[in-house]
Amino acid sequence: MQALRLSAYTLTTALGSGLAPHLAALRAQRGGIVKKRWETVEFDVCIGEVAGLDEVRLPAALADYDCRNNRLALQGLQQDGFAAQLQAAIERYGADRVGVFMGSSTSGILSSEVAYRQRDAETGSLPVDLHYRTTHNAYSVADFVRKFFALSGPAMVVSTACSSSAKVFGTAQRMLAAGLIDAAIVGGVDSLCLTTIYGFSSLQLVSSEPCRPFDVARDGISIGEGAAYVLLERGDLARPGDIILSGVGESSDAYHMSSPHPQGRGAHMAMAQALQMAGLQPEDIGYINLHGTATPSNDAAEGAAVLALFGQDTPCSSTKGHTGHTLGAAGGIEAIICALALQEGLLPGGVGTGQLDPALPCHYLLQTREQSLRHVLSNSFGFGGSNCSLVFSRVDA
């Protein structure tokens, strides 16, 4: 496939806002998951919460977009000079030649959750300050970003649960290849809400302690929230040292709505396809950022697929122990962690994992390691059996 250059990128999670706190946390193996009461949840829950969202104010012209998810979207946009770099790309190509493809699972549904509690006792009607279109609807965050930058090109939200913001890289790649755009802003924004906290709890998939990916005693996820943005341009613009998207693999489990295929059939297909598109062999990959949600069945399926394709030698880890599982934002966030790994020669050791599961003899990193990398792979797998693997590479000097 035609590679794409990651011309600019930024992320915001429980570890902090922007690249610097993430790099520091990855080096120090520090996690951002805390156990606390959140919103009106009646029990303590371990979450990866982004600090300060209550204080974020949207521009007056976009006031109808105000919700936790778009506050997080704005907070994320304002880091690392990303907005200025995007502005420069818009000036280069034109506002109609830059696409906006964002991933989100729950969008601004928290606004409707709160509004349903405030329904009129007599009529059942919702409070007048609920703006469904610009908050709860799945398209809200892409619409917000498109309007924030006054763009006039194509836009949409991919919502395939926890693979959402990985799959938008594929969309951007195909749109550029078709000549419909010259650049794309891709990424993901997902924020804490009652639907996911109570929903994952109903499936008994939430850990009572900060999550422990690939640990023998892992017992579920910790829900997080985050925002990730990448400016993608044509790969032939890349200079030595730049990071490129070199492969995308997408597949479906065709197995079950909320459980992965036990042998990781879909995961294996997605990884193999991403390698094939990148023209690489398994041994070319220096690090795998696992989906690694820390549920017993997810990690078992992914571990089986990684072992089948890569054997036991390829270093890998999940960064869900650092950030929590940011669901629809996870693919974008972990893509940027992969870019940081390539840029800095940094293989993140996992957080939260004590004793590795002997049934999953992958080369799971318990300690962060400094080592030059050429190619890395990132996995994102979601409910409904939606799988996406991405390969990123550092252009040789």
Partner 1 sequence: MIYLEGLSVLGPGLPDWASTAACLRGEQDFVAADVALPAVLALPATERRRVGTAVKLAMATGFAAVTDAAADAVQLANIFSSTGGDCDNCHNLLEVLASDERLISPTRFHNSVHNAPAGYWGIATGCTAASTSLCAYDATFAAALIETATQVLASGQPCVLIAFDTAYPEPLYSQRPIPYPMGVGMVLSPQRTAASKAALQLAFTGDAAAVMADAGLEQLRRTIPAARSLPLLQLLASGQPGRVVLEYLDDCQLAVTVGA
Q: Minimum distance from CB of 264 to partner 1 (Å)?
A: 12
Size of the site for partner 1 (CB under 8 A): 66
For partner 1, which stretch binds (CB under 8 A), given 83-91, 282-290, 334-342, 379-387? 379-387
Query: Does 331 interact with partner 1 (rule: CB under 8 A)?
Result: no
Q: HEC states along the chain?
A: CCCEEEEEEEEEECCEECHHHHHHHHHHCCCCCEEECCCCCCCCEEEECCCCHHHCCCCHHHHHHCCHHHHHHHHHHCCCCHHHHHHHHHHHHCHHHEEEEEECCCCCHHHHHHHHHCCCCCCCCCCCCCCCCCCCCCCHHHHHHHHHCCCCCCEEEECCHHHHHHHHHHHHHHHHHCCCCCEEEEEEEECCCHHHHHHHHHCCCECCCCCCCCECCCCCECEECEEEEEEEEEHHHCCCCCEEEEEEEEEECCCCCCCCCCCCHHHHHHHHHHHHHHCCCHHHCCEEECCCCCCHHHHHHHHHHHHHHHCCCCEEECCHHHHCECHHHHHHHHHHHHHHHHHHCEECCCCCCCCECCCCCCEECCCCEECCCCEEEEEEEEHHHEEEEEEEEECCC
Instruction: Indicate which single residue of 198, 219, 234, 272 sits in contact with partner 1 (rule: CB under 8 A).
Output: 198
Tokens of 199: 């929903």
CB of residue 123 to partner 1, shortest distance in Å: 8
Residue 165 in the binding site for partner 1 (CB under 8 A): no
Question: Does residue 177 touch partner 1 according to CB under 8 A?
Answer: yes
CA torsion 319-216-273-245 (nearest 10°) is 10
Distance CA 168, CA 388 (A): 10
325 is catalytic: yes
* Beta-bridge partner residues of 231: 8, 185
Residue 139 engages partner 1 in binding (rule: CB under 8 A): yes
Selected catalytic residue, list 22, 136, 261, 325: 325
Whose Cβ is closer to partner 1: residue 286's or residue 385's? 385
**Residue bearing tokens 């194509």:** 154
Catalytic (active site) residue 22: no
Active site residue 211: no
* Nearest CB to partner 1, comparing residues 287 and 383: 383
* Interaction of residue 188 with partner 1, rule CB under 8 A: no
Choosing from 52, 81, 125, 281, the residue that interacts with partner 1 (CB under 8 A) is 125
Q: Which of 46, 67, 162, 388 is catalytic?
A: 162
- In the region spanning residues 102 to 121, those forming contacts with partner 1, defined by CB under 8 A, are 105, 109, 112-113, 116-117, 119
The encoded tokens of residue 44 equal 């303590």
358 forms beta bridges with none
Question: Which CB, 286 or 382, lies closer to partner 1?
Answer: 382
Query: Does residue number 148 form part of the binding site for partner 1 (CB under 8 A)?
Result: no
Contact with partner 1 (CB under 8 A): which of 30, 256, 262, 312?
256
Number of neighbours of residue 311 by Cβ within 10 angstroms: 13
Least distance in angstroms from the C-beta of 355 to partner 1 = 29
**Which residue is catalytic, options 131, 261, 268, 291?**
291
Q: Give which of 35, 365, 22, 330 is closest to 210, Cα–Cα.
A: 35
Q: Is 235 in the site for partner 1 (CB under 8 A)?
A: no
Check binding of 158 to partner 1 (CB under 8 A).
Answer: yes
Of the candidate residues 38, 82, 229, 383, the single one contacting partner 1 (CB under 8 A): 383
Residue 343 interacts with partner 1 (CB under 8 A): yes or no = no
154 binds partner 1 (CB under 8 A): yes
Region near partner 1 per CB under 8 A, out of 141-149, 183-191, 369-377, 389-397: 141-149
124 binds partner 1, rule: CB under 8 A: yes
**In the set 11, 46, 192, 269, which binds partner 1 (CB under 8 A)?**
269
Pairwise CA distance, residues 293 & 223, whole Å: 10
Return the range that interacts with partner 1 (CB under 8 A); candidates 155-163, 217-225, 239-247, 364-372.
Answer: 155-163
- Residues identified as active-site: 162, 291, 325
Give me the residues that bind partner 1 (CB under 8 A), please.
Answer: 1, 42, 96, 105, 109, 112-113, 116-117, 119, 124-126, 130, 132-133, 137-139, 142-143, 146, 152-161, 167, 170-171, 173-175, 177-178, 180, 194-195, 198-203, 250-258, 265-266, 269, 382-386
